[in-house]
Amino acid sequence: MANWYSESSPLERRTFWASFGGWALDALDVQMFGLAIPALIAAFGISKADAGLLGSITLFFGAFGGWIGGALGDRFGRVKALQITVATFALATFACAFAMSFTQLLVLKAIQGLGFGAEWACGAVLMAEIIRPEHRGKALGSVQSAWAVGWGAAVLLSALVFTYAPADIAWRILFAIGLLPALLIIFIRRGLKEPQRAAPSAAQPPFFATLAGIFHRDVLRATLIGGLFGTGAHGGYAALTTFLPTYLREVRHLSVLGSSGYLAVIIIAFFCGCVMSGIISDRIGRRANVAFFATACIVTVLIYIFAPLSNSQMLVLGFPLGFFSAGIPASMAALFSELYPAGVRGTGVGFCYNFGRVVSAAFPFLVGYLSDHIGLGPAIGIDAAFAYSLVLIAVLLLPETRGKVFEQAVAGTRA
């Protein structure tokens, strides 16, 4: 990371840190939900399937948020679209602290999903257009590692809050904290420079035409396969992480602090996996990199869930589990950005990354449902392995895009 970063311009560095901070904030707010599931089940008297539905609704609306957010970035600019998205999901997370019913929480999680999906789409394309091609994979992989930073912060906060606050209000405190970092990120992003683009036509097509542009015959194949890729990537991650804290506590019988230690190993590994995936992606290509990480994910998840492991062995295996699961999302921003031309790049990236959220929204619900019949562990393992298999199929159908040079007008923004 240090080598490419030292060669970066001031604008590239500012864009990197702004995107890194925004993604970490996304993770902080979203991962709070998985850590609060046991408390939410107790507070509202809901089933695991209902809790899974809360996660699913966030993913479902995140898909529309990403698609619309990407199109807004194509139409009005990446930075302008970003200024709204962070505030949207941060305020929605904060409002979850005051939910008085399951229905209210469901609505607020939907709003959170809209902002969450849109933020990633705008930030990823902004980074892809600002960073020079030879460093694009490393830079975007490093930005994806910010998820581990936010995830780790959520675990630490959860351990502290649930240890020292009564369980019936601890989850409310946790969600309320999700508002604070948004102020800093919004301030940083006001100083970013919009990538130069061709002057808009005097007669711009309707906004709907911008949304539909990714279904033009020239890019339709990329859109369809990219959507399958996104489904597998998000489905595997959602199936694994939504109920993993609950699995460690209820099946493995670990305390809140004990399960936090296991999650810490996975989170540190996730950070390392994101950075390494970016490096490998720029070296051997996008397709080979994703194929390697997807195959490793399938094998590792099945061993982690189904092998008769002791708690100590699970702790050790947590590192490769987190490492390999990071490689897929860390490669998506660079790969998807390189599949589309400038006019629909934001829309395409937002759709491919977030379309998977529509289908993968079923995975947390399915895990919760299957857990009542086959147990929580097997439900997680089967769902996650199936999802990562979809990633492997999709990437074998996509072209290699490593080193693609974007428009010269964009290159001129690297001042």
pLDDT class of 22 with cuts at 50, 70, 90: confident
156: its two tokens: 């630490």
Q: Worst-scoring range by mean pLDDT, 163-172, 192-201, 315-324, 349-358?
A: 192-201
Average pLDDT, the chain: 81
The predicted model scores a pTM of: 0.75
pLDDT at position 412 is 43
Which own/partner contact pairs does 313-320 have at CB distance under 8 Å and 24+ positions apart? 314/252, 314/262, 315/261, 315/262, 315/265, 318/262, 318/265, 318/266, 318/269, 319/265, 319/266, 319/268, 319/269, 320/269, 320/296
pLDDT at position 197 is 60
pLDDT at position 187 is 67
How far apart CA 157 and CA 226 sit, in angstroms, is 35
Q: Worst-scoring range by mean pLDDT, 139-153, 300-314, 338-352, 373-387?
A: 300-314
- Which comes out higher in pLDDT, residue 176 or 35? 176
pLDDT at position 332 is 87
Over residues 363-376, mean pLDDT: 80
pLDDT class of 351 with cuts at 50, 70, 90: confident
- CA 331, distance to chain mean position in Å, is 12
Q: Which of 64-68, 183-187, 368-372, 389-393 has the highest mean pLDDT?
A: 389-393
pLDDT class of 411 with cuts at 50, 70, 90: very low
Residue with structure tokens 């035409």?
A: 209
pLDDT at position 413 is 46
R_g over Cα of the chain: 20
How far apart CA 135 and CA 142 sit, in angstroms, is 11
Over residues 206-212, mean pLDDT: 66
Is the model's pLDDT at 209 over the cut of 70? no
pLDDT at position 342 is 76
How far apart CA 224 and CA 34 sit, in angstroms, is 30
Q: What is the DSSP track for 152-194?
A: HHHHHHHHHHHHHS-HHHHHHHHHHHTTTHHHHHHHHHTTPPP
How far apart CA 363 and CA 356 sit, in angstroms, is 11
- Which comes out higher in pLDDT, residue 361 or 385? 385
Over residues 18-37, mean pLDDT: 81
Domains along the chain with CATH numbers = 10-191+212-400 (1.20.1250.20)
H or E stretch at 363: helix 362-374
CB–CB of 145/26 below 8 Å? no
Is the model's pLDDT at 393 over the cut of 90? yes
pLDDT digits 0-9 by tens, 252-290: 666 555 556 667 777 888 889 989 999 999 999 999 999
User: Which candidate, 81, 97, 103, places its Cα nearest to that of 33?
Assistant: 97
- Which comes out higher in pLDDT, residue 392 or 264? 392
Q: What percent of the chain has pLDDT over 70?
A: 88
Over residues 340-357, mean pLDDT: 82
User: Which candidate, 125, 102, 120, 116, places its Cα nearest to that of 60?
Assistant: 116
Side-chain half-sphere CA neighbours of 227 within 13 A: 16
User: Which candidate, 155, 143, 141, 151, places its Cα nearest to that of 293?
Assistant: 141
Over residues 71-89, mean pLDDT: 79
Q: What percent of the chain has pLDDT over 90?
A: 10
User: Which candidate, 251, 277, 289, places its Cα nearest to that of 381?
Assistant: 251
Q: What is the DSSP track for 90-124?
A: HHHHHHHTT--SHHHHHHHHHHHHHHHHHHHHHHH
Q: Worst-scoring range by mean pLDDT, 51-55, 208-212, 375-379?
A: 208-212
Is the model's pLDDT at 410 over the cut of 60? no
pLDDT at position 357 is 73
Over residues 67-91, mean pLDDT: 79
pLDDT class of 210 with cuts at 50, 70, 90: low
CB–CB of 118/65 below 8 Å? yes
pLDDT at position 243 is 76
